[in-house]
A = this chain, B = another copy of it.
Amino acid sequence: MSGSGFASTPRPPYYAVIFSNQRQGPDDGYGETAQRMVELAATMPGFLGVESVRGEDGFGITVSYWESEEAIAAWRRHGEHAAARVRGREAWYAHFELRVARVERAYGGPARAGAE
């Protein structure tokens, strides 16, 4: 996400993991772990990019993009990611919804600065 919040994704089809979540409680390692998960995901085969926002009320949406269901499954099995998910369920999130979706078409606009 260097320099822009947008993920540079290829032509569809590819996959999106839509993670909607409501933070609760103190930071307690959350910020550091969240940053680490983005860095770690970016090293995984099939990772295409991530877009993430959190509002002042603690509600957040993170969408990560992947080449395939297999790539998502491998990321899910990663030990450090699995451990972070446990802490998320136990402490950091009041609630979350996770949806896995196949991106079928995509377009953008106006022209991205520095691109096209």
Contacts and interface: CB of A to CB of B under 8 A. Distances in A.
Interface of A: 4-7, 9, 12, 16, 18, 20, 22, 51-57, 59-61, 63, 89, 93-113
Given A94-B113, A109-B96, A61 B59 contact: no
Contacts of A109: 89, 93, 95-96
Contacts of A99: 9, 12, 16, 103, 105-106
B95 A100 contact: no
B55 A51 contact: no
A66 B109 CA distance: 23
Given A7-B20, A9-B97, 11 more contacts: A5-B20, A5-B59, A16-B18, A52-B61, A89-B109, A93-B110, A96-B109, A97-B106, A97-B107, A97-B108, A98-B108
A15 B5 CA distance: 23
**Copies of this chain assembled into the complex:** 2
Given A96-B108, A102-B104, A104-B102, A20 B59 contact: no
Nearest to A60: B53
